[in-house]
Structure 1
Amino acid sequence: MSEITYVRGDATVPSVKGVKVIAHVCNDIGGWGKGFVVALSRRRPEPEAAYRAWHRGRATNDFGLGAAQFVRVEPYMWAANMVGQRGIRTGSKGVPVRYEAIDAALGRLAQKTTELGASVHMPRIGCGLAGGAWARVEPLITERLVRRGISVTVYDHGEGRS
């Protein structure tokens, strides 16, 4: 069985051949403007536009914790907007990350990447502004994706990341 590949670099520009899905975690309140999504939007406007439209139409679609939206950004590249955090602030209920929601969204990601024959590229999802612990997220990725034979690369930015 393969493992998650860890590299230093930018998850918004995976440099492997074949179909690629850039996966990241979004909140459930329609907010887009801090963290990894800023870098993603700098390169590709489609995921943000699709996420905002998805959130606006939430009364009649599947938007919510655990949902995943797949947005084609190039012929061989997709973005996966995965709703895995409740709100954007740490409060009385703890940090915004929701591991069960990330797990459910990863299940949807596994299905889509299998259909596409794609590899998955991501930052350490749920562990930035969402406040999650990689020790809890990594096993979900291994279970949902790696054990199904899906190639996963996790990108860590170098020093000086703002």
Structure 2
Amino acid sequence: MSEITYVRGDATVPSVKGVKVIAHVCNDIGGWGKGFVLALSRRWPQPEAAYRAWHRDRARNDFALGAVQLVRVEPYVWVANMIGQRGTRRGSKGVPVRYEAIDTALTTLAGEVAGLGASVHMPRIGCGLAGGRWSRVAPLIDERLVKRGIAVTVYDHGDGAG
């Protein structure tokens, strides 16, 4: 049985061969401007543009908690925008992360990734600005991706900030 591979580095530059999907968690209110999305936007304009259009046209599409949008950014690289947090602020209802939405998104992602024959690369999704705990997210990744034979690499930023 394989397991999640942890490395130091930048999840936007996976150094493996083959098709790669870079997965990350987005909010459900159309906000894009803090956290890991900034690293994505520095490399490619497409994920942000696609996310904003997806949100703008949400009355006519599946934009909601648990949804996944795959955006091709290079011939062998895709970005998975996964809606896994409610809003962006901590408040009376707690942190923005929604574990059940991440679980749903990972289930959808598994099917897409298997169809592409891809590996998955990500930061510690849902655990930065979304306020989640890795001890809750890692088992979801293990269950939905790793147990299906999908290679998953989690990147911790080299500067210790991740």
- Establish whether TM, by shorter chain, passes 0.5: yes
Class of the TM-score when normalised by the shorter of the 2 chains:
over 0.9
Within 5 Å, give how 1:147-162 maps onto structure 2.
147-159=147-159, 161=161
SS of match in other structure, 1:49:
helix
Counterparts of 2:16 and 2:30 in 1: how far apart (Å)?
31
Which residue does 2:27 correspond to in 1? 27
Q: Residue 160 of structure 1: CA displacement? A: 5.4
Counterparts of 1:159 and 1:30 in 2: how far apart (Å)?
29
Q: Which amino acid aligns with 1:126?
A: G
SS of match in other structure, 1:126:
coil
Counterparts of 1:87 and 1:29 in 2: how far apart (Å)?
6
Which residue does 2:67 correspond to in 1? 67
Q: Residue 159 of structure 1: CA displacement? A: 2.4
Which residue does 1:57 correspond to in 2? 57
Within 5 Å, give how 1:6-155 maps onto structure 2.
6-155=6-155
SS of match in other structure, 1:154:
strand
Percent of pairs with identical residues: 81
How many residues are paired up?
162
SS of match in other structure, 2:55:
helix
Counterparts of 1:72 and 1:155 in 2: how far apart (Å)?
20
Q: After the TM superposition, which segments of 4 or more aligned residues of structure 1 sit over 3 Å from their partners?
A: none
Counterparts of 2:131 and 2:150 in 1: how far apart (Å)?
26
**Deviation sequence 1:65-106 (CA, Å, 0-9, x none):** 000000000110000000000000001100000000000000
Counterparts of 2:129 and 2:120 in 1: how far apart (Å)?
21
SS of match in other structure, 2:158:
coil
CA RMSD, aligned part only? 0.9
**Deviation sequence 1:113-156 (CA, Å, 0-9, x none):** 00000000000000000000000000000000000000000000
Which residues of structure 1 form unaligned runs of 5+? Answer: none
Counterparts of 2:89 and 2:80 in 1: how far apart (Å)?
22
Q: Residue 158 of structure 1: CA displacement? A: 1.8
